[in-house]
Chain A
Amino acid sequence: MAALIFLGASTSADQKRLSIYSSVANYTLPVTDRLGREYVGLLEVLEPLGRISAHLDGQHWKMRFNNSDGDFVAGRTRAKVRGRDLDLSGPFLIENSRGMVPLSSLNTLLQRFLGNQVNLHEAARRLFIGDIATQVTAQLDSSTPPRLVLNFTAPVNPTISTEPGKLKMVFGREPLVPPANNPLAFESSTISQTNFSESNGTAELTIAASAPLMASFSNNGRTITITATGQPAAPGTGTSPVVGEAPPSESPPAPVPAPGTSPVTGETPPPDSAPVRLPLAIVDPAHGGAERGAALSETLAEKNVTLGFGRLLRHELERQGCAVMLLREGDDSLTLDQRAEAGNAARALIYISLHAASEGNGARVYTALLSREGPDQGPFHAWNAAQTHALPLSQSVAAAIVNEMQKREFSARSLSASLRPLNNLVVPAVAVELAPGPNGVADLPSANYQQKAAAAIADAVASQRQRLETQP
C-alpha cells in the first residue's frame, strides 16, 4: 500500500512531463526522449482542447482538429497545417500509430491550430495557451511573529512540504508565473526571502526562514498566509535551523498531503478540531499501456477514450471545488490491485472508474456486485468485499449521476457489475461506461460529448458532497 501512496509521486518524480494550461483544461502529459530531443504525442496535446481525429495513411499521419487539417510525414521536419508548411524543428515520429512532435515545435504548432497566443517555457516544460497566467504578489507583515501574505489572481492548491530552512509550495496544475521581482528579499531575520522556480511541468515557491512556518489558506484559495510559529534557532550552533517541524501544539501547521494527492484548500483547522477530510476525488481512466480495453473502432481503443474523458472530468470536478487525483496521466499500465490500493490509501471521498463501449447509447453507471466472502476480521476488511460498507453511498452517487445525465437528455441507467477494482475499495466507488451518442461511435472521443457526461458526473458528486464528507 505504501508503494501506491507514492504512485502519483513516482510518475512525477521519475518521468519528464509537460504541463499545459488553458481556459478549457489544465493537464499534464508524459514527455519522451527521442533522437536527442524531447517529444510529446500530438493527439494527447490537442485532445482536451477540441474535437480531434487522426489516422495513419502509409507514412502520412493525417489529423483533423476542429476544422483544421494537419498532414505529418514520418521522419520529415516539415508538416502541413491548415494548408501551409510549418517547421517542426525536428523529425516527426510515428510510434504505435501515435504521432509525436518535438516539444520545441509546440509553440508554432499550437498557434497555427488554435489561432491563440501560446507561450512555451521549454526548459521548464510548461505551456500557456491564451491569457491564462496566475500572478502572485508577496507582502511581509511586520507583526510578531511575522506573517508573509501571498495573494494569487486565481485560486491555487499547492502541495506543501518542508525542508530545513525552507517551506516549499509546488504548483502542479496552476499556471503560476514568476512575480515581478524574483527572488524577493525581506528585511526580516525570520522570513528572509521567497524564490520562484519552475521545472518539469511544475512551478515552485520556496520561502526561506529561520523558524518553523505554518501555512493557511483563505479567500477561496486565493490567499496563502505563511506564519512563523517558533523561536529562531540559536545562532552559532553549527546546524541549519529546522523549519517546518511540528510547531507548538496551540498552532498546528496546515496538513501536508500525501505525495501524489492534492492538498486541501481552505482555512487551517482550529486547534483540537476533528481532522479535515480531504475533498479528494479519484478519477481512474481504465486500461492503459499494453491493455487497450475494447476496440471501439478499427483505430479507436478504449484506453485512449477513457484518458481524454478522465482529463475532462478532472477539470469539471476541480471547478466544483474538489481536489482530483487522476490515476494515470498518459499511456501507463496499472494493475487492478494498484488502482484499488491508490483509492484506499488516499481515502478519497469518491472513486470514479471510467470506461467506454461501442454498444448501446448514452452512459451506464455501475456499482459493485459483491461476491459472498468471509466476514471482516476486526478492523480488516475482506479484500473482495471491501466495498460492502460503502456500497449504499456508492449507489446514491450512481443514482445522482444518472439523474444529472438525464437532466441533460443523456440516456443513462444504473446497474451492478462484478467489476474490479470497485469491490476492493473501502470508499464510495462507481464506474461510468460511456456509450455512443447520436453520431454513433464517433461521439466517444468527442470532447463535446465527453464534456457533457463529465459535467453531469461532477454536478452529481457536488450534490452528494455533504453525504460523502460525513461518511464514517
Chain B
Amino acid sequence: MIPRHLTLGVAVLLVIVLSMGIYLNRMRRSADEMQRLAADTRPVAAPASGPTETVTLYVADDVIGSLRSQSAQIPLPGGRQQRAEELLRALLRIYQQPDSPHPLAPTAEIRSIYLVDPGVAVIDLNTAFADQHRSSILGEQLTVNSLVETLAANVPGITQVRILVDGNSRETLAGHADLSEFFDVNAVGQAVTQGGQ
C-alpha cells in the first residue's frame, strides 16, 4: 500500500509540472509575438484622409545631379502640419522605390513636421534616414534641397526650414550637408535655380 503522504507529494509535484508547462508555453507565445511586432515596420498611424490634390514634388536625380519637378496626386488632410508631413512622406516613397533616382534607406522615415509661426518648418527625420544616407556633398545637398523645395512649393508661408534627426540637432546629414542651421528657403531656391541642383 502506498503511503498517503507519498501520494499527496506526487500529486503536488504533478500540479507544479503542469503549471510550469502552461506558464512556459505562454512565455514562448509572448516572445514570438514581440518578435513579430518588432519585425513589422508597417506604419501604425492612420492613413491620410482628405481630398486628393495635385502637388509638385521636387525630386532629386543623381544621374543629372539636380532636382526635377514631378506632379503627384496624393490625399492631403486639411491641417497645414499634416499636409506638410504627407507631402514629404509621398516624396520619401519615391526615393524608397526600387528604381529610385536618388535611393534612400527603406527604413528612412519622416517622423514629424512642426510648423512654427512665423514661417519656420522643422522636419524631424528618423535616425535611419541620416545614418544610412550615402555620404557626398552633392547627394546630401540634393536631399536637403528636395525636402526644402517641396515644402516651400506646397505649404505657403514657409521661409526657413530646420532639419532634426530623431528630435535632436545633428552636425551633418551624412558627413557633409550642414544641419546645424536653418535653411533659408529663398537661398535654397536661388541655389537650385542658378546651379541646377
Q: Which residues of A contact B (CB under 8 A)?
A: 287, 291, 293-295, 302, 336, 355, 357-360, 364, 366, 369-373, 384, 413-420, 423, 431, 433
Residue contact A366 to B187, C-beta cutoff 8 Å: no
Complex CA–CA separation, A335 to B24 (angstroms):
54
Nearest chain A residue, comparing its CB with the CB of B159: A372
- State whether the Cβ of B97 lies closer than 8 Å to any Cβ in chain A: no
- State whether the Cβ of B138 lies closer than 8 Å to any Cβ in chain A: yes
Complex CA–CA separation, A124 to B190 (angstroms):
54
Residue contact A415 to B160, C-beta cutoff 8 Å: no
Interfacial chain A residues near B176, Cβ < 8 Å: 355, 417, 419
CB<8 Å pairs between A and B, sample of 9: A355-B136, A355-B137, A364-B65, A369-B191, A371-B187, A414-B195, A417-B137, A417-B141, A417-B177
Residue contact A415 to B62, C-beta cutoff 8 Å: no
Q: Interface centre among B177, B178, B180, B187, by most A CB within 10 Å?
A: B178
B141 to chain A, nearest CB (A): 5
Known contacts A355-B176, A415-B195, A416-B195; decide if A372 and B138 are in contact (CB<8 Å).
no
Contact partner, A364, options B138, B175, B187, Cβ 8 Å: B138
- State whether the Cβ of B74 lies closer than 8 Å to any Cβ in chain A: no
Residue contact A369 to B187, C-beta cutoff 8 Å: yes
Residue contact B188 to A431, C-beta cutoff 8 Å: no
Contact partner, B135, options A294, A360, A366, A420, Cβ 8 Å: A294
A-B complex: 8 closest residue pairs judged by Cβ atoms = A357-B136, A294-B135, A416-B191, A371-B181, A415-B195, A372-B184, A418-B178, A417-B141
Interfacial chain A residues near B195, Cβ < 8 Å: 413-416
Interfacial chain B residues near A416, Cβ < 8 Å: 187, 190-191, 194-195, 197
A363 to chain B, nearest CB (A): 11
Complex CA–CA separation, A416 to B177 (angstroms):
11
Interfacial chain A residues near B134, Cβ < 8 Å: 294, 359
Interfacial chain A residues near B196, Cβ < 8 Å: 413
- State whether the Cβ of B183 lies closer than 8 Å to any Cβ in chain A: yes
Residue contact A419 to B139, C-beta cutoff 8 Å: no
Nearest chain B residue, comparing its CB with the CB of A372: B184
Known contacts A294-B175, A416-B191, A417-B176; decide if A357 and B139 are in contact (CB<8 Å).
yes
Besides A359-B62, A384-B181, 5 other A-B contacts (C-beta < 8 A): A355-B176, A357-B137, A359-B65, A360-B65, A418-B178
Contact partner, A419, options B177, B184, B187, Cβ 8 Å: B177
Complex CA–CA separation, A279 to B124 (angstroms):
45
Interfacial chain A residues near B190, Cβ < 8 Å: 416
Residue contact B138 to A360, C-beta cutoff 8 Å: yes
Complex CA–CA separation, A293 to B140 (angstroms):
13
Complex CA–CA separation, A372 to B195 (angstroms):
19
Task: Please report whether the interface of chain B is mostly helix, strand, loop or mixed according to DSSP.
Answer: mixed
Residue contact A287 to B187, C-beta cutoff 8 Å: no
Residue contact A419 to B138, C-beta cutoff 8 Å: no
Interface residues of B in 91-120 (CB under 8 A from A): none
Q: Interface centre among A287, A302, A359, A413, by most B CB within 10 Å?
A: A359
Residue contact A291 to B187, C-beta cutoff 8 Å: no
A43 to chain B, nearest CB (A): 22
As a 0/1 sequence over residues 114 to 155 of chain B, the CB contacts with chain A under 8 angstroms (1 = contact) are: 000000000000000000001111110100100000000000
Q: Which residues of B contact A (CB under 8 A)?
A: 62, 65, 134-139, 141, 144, 160, 171-172, 175-178, 180-184, 187-188, 190-191, 194-197
Q: Interface centre among B65, B137, B182, B190, by most A CB within 10 Å?
A: B137
Interfacial chain B residues near A366, Cβ < 8 Å: 137
Complex CA–CA separation, A291 to B171 (angstroms):
13
Complex CA–CA separation, A373 to B196 (angstroms):
25
A176 to chain B, nearest CB (A): 39
Contact partner, A415, options B136, B144, B182, B191, Cβ 8 Å: B191
Nearest chain B residue, comparing its CB with the CB of A418: B178
Interfacial chain B residues near A372, Cβ < 8 Å: 160, 182, 184, 187
Interfacial chain A residues near B182, Cβ < 8 Å: 371-372
Residue contact A419 to B178, C-beta cutoff 8 Å: yes
Interfacial chain B residues near A419, Cβ < 8 Å: 137, 141, 176-178
Contact partner, A418, options B65, B136, B141, B160, Cβ 8 Å: B141
Nearest chain A residue, comparing its CB with the CB of B197: A415
Interfacial chain A residues near B181, Cβ < 8 Å: 371, 373, 384, 418
B180 to chain A, nearest CB (A): 8
Residue contact A433 to B188, C-beta cutoff 8 Å: no
Complex CA–CA separation, A417 to B140 (angstroms):
9
Complex CA–CA separation, A369 to B186 (angstroms):
11
A386 to chain B, nearest CB (A): 12
Residue contact B65 to A291, C-beta cutoff 8 Å: no
Complex CA–CA separation, A61 to B178 (angstroms):
37
Residue contact A418 to B138, C-beta cutoff 8 Å: no
Interfacial chain A residues near B62, Cβ < 8 Å: 359-360
Complex CA–CA separation, A416 to B188 (angstroms):
9
Residue contact B184 to A370, C-beta cutoff 8 Å: yes
Residue contact B65 to A371, C-beta cutoff 8 Å: no
Q: Interface centre among A355, A360, A371, by most B CB within 10 Å?
A: A371
Complex CA–CA separation, A413 to B66 (angstroms):
12
B103 to chain A, nearest CB (A): 11
Residue contact A369 to B175, C-beta cutoff 8 Å: no
Nearest chain B residue, comparing its CB with the CB of A302: B135
Nearest chain A residue, comparing its CB with the CB of B175: A293
Q: Interface centre among B139, B141, B190, by most A CB within 10 Å?
A: B141
Nearest chain B residue, comparing its CB with the CB of A360: B65
B182 to chain A, nearest CB (A): 5
Residue contact B175 to A291, C-beta cutoff 8 Å: yes
Known contacts A372-B187, A423-B178; decide if A418 and B144 are in contact (CB<8 Å).
yes
Known contacts A417-B177, A419-B178; decide if A295 and B187 are in contact (CB<8 Å).
no
Contact partner, B177, options A359, A418, A433, Cβ 8 Å: A418
Interfacial chain B residues near A414, Cβ < 8 Å: 195
Known contacts A287-B175, A371-B183, A384-B181; decide if A295 and B135 are in contact (CB<8 Å).
yes
Interfacial chain A residues near B160, Cβ < 8 Å: 372
Residue contact B137 to A364, C-beta cutoff 8 Å: yes
Nearest chain B residue, comparing its CB with the CB of A373: B181
